[in-house]
Amino acid sequence: MLIKPMINGWEIPRISNIQSQESRRLLRLPVPGLSGDLHQDLGRGALVVDISGSLYGDEARDEFLTENVRKAFLEAKPVDFVADIVNESELEQVIIETLSLEENADYPGQFFYFIRLREYTEPPEPASPGLGLVAPDLSLDIELGLDLLDLPGLLVPLPDIGDLLQPIEPAAQTLKDVLAGAADLFTPLESLFDSTPAEGD
């Protein structure tokens, strides 16, 4: 082993097994009548490294538990990782996904550990507001040549559509006249309800 596996500058002790897993994200597209499936490559998945080992004695166990690997796990921050097994890969930083510890009565004084590392990818920068054509100070980006762009000249003139309500004005007037005459229909009812009863009724 030319390069001892190290997490954030901490040399991992007494490794019994280390393995890496790489995979591609393939979208399977079944096609009716076609033998087999079509596949769309969605890119490479995150590289995963599993490390397991064992330690002897309380002192070695306590030292392991107080090293920065547990601190990095609790903080969930990306850390540097180097090892022969990830040479020629694009791995630069990892997140400690799993930290498993075990003591077994069948092996007194022995302490087992398992660490799973997952490749960390820096998230992309958030998109700027709008279409990204306006800088935060609301000035146009001169580098894009927008200062020479005739924005008012790009506006398409709207056609003259005239008065949209003109065709329905006669019908509206007729409806108004009909409703005005409807009030006269209720005049007999008003006189009926307004009449006062005669004396002795």
More confident residue, 172 or 53: 53
Q: For the chain, how many structural domains are there in total?
A: 1
pLDDT surpasses 90 at 118: yes
pLDDT of 134 reads 46
Q: In what order do the strands lie in the sheet with 110-119?
A: 10-11, 6-7, 79-82, 93-103, 110-119, 48-56, 15-21
Range of the domain at 52: 6-119
Report CA-CA distances (Å) from 82 to 47, 69, 144, 149: 13, 14, 42, 51
pLDDT of 94 reads 93
What is the overall mean pLDDT for the chain? 78
List all residues 6 or more positions away from 1 whose beta carbon is below 8 Å from its beta carbon: 84
Parallel, antiparallel or unpaired: strands 6-7 and 10-11: antiparallel
Give the whole-angstrom CA distance, residue 21 versus residue 138.
47
Residue 60: inside a domain:
yes
| CATH number of the CATH domain containing 19 | 2.40.30.200
Residue 147: inside a domain:
no
Which range among 133-137, 146-150, 187-191 shows the weakest confidence by mean pLDDT? 133-137
Residue 96: inside a domain:
yes
pLDDT of 183 reads 65
Average pLDDT for 96-112: 89
Dump pLDDT digits (tens) for 56-70.
888 888 887 776 678
pLDDT surpasses 80 at 130: no
**Which percentage of the chain shows pLDDT scores above 70?**
69
Residue 30: inside a domain:
yes
Residue 50: inside a domain:
yes
pLDDT surpasses 80 at 197: no
pLDDT of 95 reads 93
Give the whole-angstrom CA distance, residue 42 versus residue 27.
7
At residue 52, the 3 state secondary structure works out as strand
Q: Which of 87, 84, 63 is nearest to 5 (CA)?
A: 84
Average pLDDT for 29-56: 89
List all residues 6 or more positions away from 79 whose beta carbon is below 8 Å from its beta carbon: 7, 8, 72, 93, 94, 95, 96
- Structural Rg of the chain based on CA atoms: 40
Residue 172: inside a domain:
no
pLDDT surpasses 70 at 51: yes
pLDDT of 138 reads 47
Give the whole-angstrom CA distance, residue 61 versus residue 199.
113
Give the whole-angstrom CA distance, residue 19 versus residue 99.
15
Residue 155: inside a domain:
no
* Other CB atoms within 10 Å distance of the CB of residue 164: 7
Average pLDDT for 109-126: 90
- pLDDT grade for 117, boundaries at 50, 70 and 90: very high
Residue 57: inside a domain:
yes
